């Protein structure tokens, strides 16, 4: 079907496979009213005090009348540009007039200009939380269009961001015995950024000598234990490991530590069988209160339980047969706490939480295995360790 347009006349010519036309129809739109279409305009919101609009009419030839912010329409052509516009809400309208008459409903585009950056955050307070962590807090910025978030730098490099309602951040990538300089800037919803705050310095303390225990001296060095038995056939290293082969659970070993707010625990795990969930690695706060633990289901699926927030997150990672290095990191800093899990040295991203809630009580104990009864499994532990920095496989 061939369609030919000539001004306000449209001809439709059906054509067969031999090129013959039939039932040709011609339609006239000479009396149709032009419709005005805005093709492009400024972003909304915009950070610019100028705005350019392009537009066209559905019937040509046509003339146009444009208006800005309710002013009287004046003749214009596409594109049209307005400059010197102030912050705030604005409106543009354009109407086409063809031979058949003027468009009775002008095309309208509204947008907001925000070229003013948020106020500069006050210099943050930087507090070492441990050998590998620093906590930051600052006063909120203000902005007429609303603060969208904050960017945080360490020694001039952006290391993270915080949401609009957040005025704190935890840096869990620091190193022991190191001085860092932090600064914060604010972003608004239009994309304006403030200048960076005055810097704040923090020096992390020296790392604590890690606890390491491979059960070569039995359960010597552990604060308490129960249900686990030494065995010498399924080993990750050395001559002994600790096995929990039970139909009633309650196989564990605990170690009192002085990690403070930042701690890493690692243990090698060999899950021989499981008819129920097996809790593998846990940290506790003052008074033995559980902060959270890593577990594996009867089908081998890894999970993380945040006891402080009462949330459970499942991973797609499956704990296969044989030995695996499992590491848990907790940084306790209120609503900006951090939890991380690694399996065989690889971060388990779908259960790690960049920001979470773990309360404010310091870490005082880590635990392998589980005190809970009523579960059936066979699991072997070896080469457990705890420290104030990444331990790794």
Encode the chain in three state secondary structure: CEEEEECCEEEEECECCCCCECCCEEEECCCCCCCEEEEECCCCCECCCCEEEEEEECCCCCEEEEEECCCCCEEECCCEEECCCCCEEEEEEEEEEECCEECCCCEEEEEEECCCCCCCCCCCEEEEEECCEEEEECCCCCCCCCEEEEEEEECCEEEEEEECCCCEEEECCCCCCCEEEEEEEEEECCCCECCCCCCEEEECCCCCCCEEECCCCCCCCCCEEECCEEECCCCCCCCCEEEEEECCEEEEEEEEEEEECEEEEEEEEEEEEECCCEEEEEEEEHHHCEEEEEEECCCCEEEEEECCCCEEEEEEEECCCCEEEEEEEEECCHHHEEEEEEECCEECCCCCEEEECCCCCCEEEEEEEEEEECCCEEEEEEEEEEECCCCCC
289-328: pLDDT as tens digits: 999 999 999 999 999 999 999 999 999 999 999 999 999 9
Read off the CATH number of the domain in which 92 is found: 2.60.40.10
Domain final residue pick, 179, 203, 227? 203
140-182: pLDDT as tens digits: 999 988 999 999 999 999 999 999 999 999 998 898 899 999 9
270 and 367 share one domain: yes
Q: Give domain status of residue 273, yes or no.
A: yes
Q: Give domain status of residue 18, yes or no.
A: no
Domain final residue pick, 203, 223, 243? 203
pLDDT of residue 148: 95
83 and 188 share one domain: no
Residue spans of the chain under pLDDT 70: 7-8, 28-31, 208-209, 259, 354
Q: Give domain status of residue 14, yes or no.
A: no
Q: Give domain status of residue 126, yes or no.
A: no
β-sheet bridge partners, residue 366:
255, 283
Q: Give domain status of residue 175, yes or no.
A: yes
Domain extent, residue 89, equals 36-113
pLDDT of residue 389: 85
177 and 250 share one domain: no
272 and 333 share one domain: yes
Answer whether 147's CB lies under 8 Å from 119's CB. Answer: no
183 and 216 share one domain: no
Q: Give domain status of residue 7, yes or no.
A: no
Domain final residue pick, 203, 220, 237? 203
Q: What is the tally of structural domains in the chain?
A: 3
pLDDT of residue 392: 86
Q: Which of 82, 29, 81, 83 is nearest to 57 (CA)?
A: 29
250 and 348 share one domain: yes
Q: Give domain status of residue 23, yes or no.
A: no
pLDDT of residue 29: 62
pLDDT of residue 130: 83
40-52: pLDDT as tens digits: 999 999 999 999 9
229 and 328 share one domain: yes
Q: Which of 157, 150, 163 is nearest to 181 (CA)?
A: 157
225 and 373 share one domain: yes
193 and 219 share one domain: no
Q: Give domain status of residue 323, yes or no.
A: yes
Q: Which of 373, 372, 374, 304 is nearest to 338 (CA)?
A: 304
167 and 300 share one domain: no
89 and 155 share one domain: no
Both structure tokens of 14: 């059906």
243 and 342 share one domain: yes
pLDDT of residue 30: 58
71-80: pLDDT as tens digits: 999 999 999 9
């Amino acid at each position: 079907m061939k369609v030919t347009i000539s001004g306000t006349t449209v001809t439709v010519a059906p054509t067969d496979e031999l090129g013959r036309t039939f039932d040709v129809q011609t339609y006239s739109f000479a009396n149709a009213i032009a419709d005005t279409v805005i093709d492009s305009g400024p972003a909304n919101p915009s950070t610019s005090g100028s705005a350019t609009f392009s537009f066209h009419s559905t019937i040509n030839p046509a003339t146009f009348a444009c208006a800005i912010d309710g002013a009287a329409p004046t003749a214009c052509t596409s594109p049209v540009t307005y400059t010197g516009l102030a912050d705030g809400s604005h409106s543009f309208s354009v109407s086409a007039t063809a031979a058949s008459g003027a468009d009775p409903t002008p095309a309208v585009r509204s947008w907001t200009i925000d070229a003013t950056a948020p106020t500069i955050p006050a210099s943050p307070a930087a507090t070492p939380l441990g050998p590998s962590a620093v906590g930051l807090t600052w006063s909120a910025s203000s902005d007429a269009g609303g603060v969208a978030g904050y960017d945080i730098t360490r020694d001039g490099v952006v290391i993270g961001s915080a949401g609009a309602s957040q005025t704190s951040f935890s840096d869990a990538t620091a190193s022991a015995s190191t001085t860092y300089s932090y600064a914060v800037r604010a972003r608004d919803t239009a994309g304006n950024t403030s200048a960076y705050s005055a810097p704040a310095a923090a020096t992390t303390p020296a790392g604590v000598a890690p606890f390491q225990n491979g059960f070569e001296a039995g359960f010597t060095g552990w604060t308490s234990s129960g249900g686990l038995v030494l065995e010498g056939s399924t080993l990750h290293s050395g001559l002994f490991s600790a096995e929990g082969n039970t139909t009633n659970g309650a196989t564990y070993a605990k170690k009192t530590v002085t990690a403070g707010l930042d701690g890493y625990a690692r243990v090698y795990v060999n899950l021989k069988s499981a008819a129920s969930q097996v809790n593998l690695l846990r940290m506790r706060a003052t008074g033995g209160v559980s902060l959270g633990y890593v577990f594996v289901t009867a089908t081998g699926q890894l999970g993380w339980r945040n006891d402080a927030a009462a949330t459970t997150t499942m991973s797609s990672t499956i704990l296969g047969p044989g030995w695996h290095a499992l590491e848990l990191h907790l940084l306790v800093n209120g609503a900006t706490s951090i939890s991380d899990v690694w399996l065989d040295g690889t971060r388990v991203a779908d259960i790690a939480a960049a920001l979470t809630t773990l309360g404010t009580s310091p870490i005082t104990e880590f635990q392998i295995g589980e005190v809970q009864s009523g579960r059936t499994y066979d699991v072997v532990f070896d080469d457990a360790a705890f420290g104030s920095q990444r331990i790794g496989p």
